[in-house]
Amino acid sequence: MPHKARKPATVSKIGVRDRLLDAADRLFYREGVRAVGIDRVLAEADAAKASLYQHFGCKDQLVASYLERKTGDARAHIEAYLADTPPSQRALKFFDWVVDWTESKDFRGCPLQHTVSELTDAAHPARAVAHAQREWFKERLLEWSIAAGVKDAKAIARALIVLFDGAV
């Protein structure tokens, strides 16, 4: 998932919800969700505390929304990257994308893995987002393994997810 934190913009050009998510993206990815308090996000976003509660209800939901945005961005990047790749070659091409991502100057690891590793509450809403993204990756890797015609595509897909985890 290439880290493409949106650039700070003037308050009048961007809505408060997006400013909060932009600030959360920059701070959470760089420093971690537990290290960053709501007051820092609010200051970075130039937003009132009431705005946070209006749009997200609490920090936990802001964290989940941050991951939802990251997963949406990642899926869009991956789909665009693979758009012209024959289905039989997508698994290999996906790892070209992983290399590009991990070699980017802003790469600090997988935001989902980092976030989930910080969460102590098994019922935290961000865990469901991370789980859904993980399932999406598993489904794509299985789909691409089948398209490549490999024997035991399920085992290959499982091995590829382990390789992905190790890479990021």
Query: Distance (Å, rounded) from C-alpha 153 to C-alpha 155?
Result: 5
Residue 113, domain extent: 59-167
Q: What pLDDT does 14 receive? A: 80
Instruction: Note whether residue 43 is domain-resident.
Output: no
Instruction: Note whether residue 96 is domain-resident.
Output: yes
- Reported as a pLDDT band with limits 50, 70 and 90, residue 1 is low
Instruction: Note whether residue 67 is domain-resident.
Output: yes
Q: For 23-77, what is each residue's pLDDT tens digit?
A: 999 999 999 999 999 999 999 999 999 999 999 999 999 999 999 999 999 999 9
Q: With the C-alpha atoms ordered 71, 66, 159, 154, is the resulting torsion angle positive or negative? A: negative
Q: What is the pTM of this model?
A: 0.86
Rg (alpha carbons) of the chain, rounded to whole number: 17
Instruction: Note whether residue 40 is domain-resident.
Output: no
Query: Distance (Å, rounded) from C-alpha 107 to C-alpha 114?
Result: 12
Instruction: Note whether residue 152 is domain-resident.
Output: yes
Closest CA to 4 of 69, 82, 80, 83: 69
Q: For 126-150, what is each residue's pLDDT tens digit?
A: 999 999 999 999 999 999 999 999 9
Instruction: Note whether residue 21 is domain-resident.
Output: no
Query: Distance (Å, rounded) from C-alpha 68 to C-alpha 132?
Result: 10
Total domains, the chain = 1
Instruction: Note whether residue 148 is domain-resident.
Output: yes
Q: What is the CATH number of the domain that holds 125?
A: 1.10.357.10
Instruction: Note whether residue 27 is domain-resident.
Output: no
Q: Is 143 exposed, middle or buried (0-12, 13-18, 19+ CB in 10 A)?
A: middle
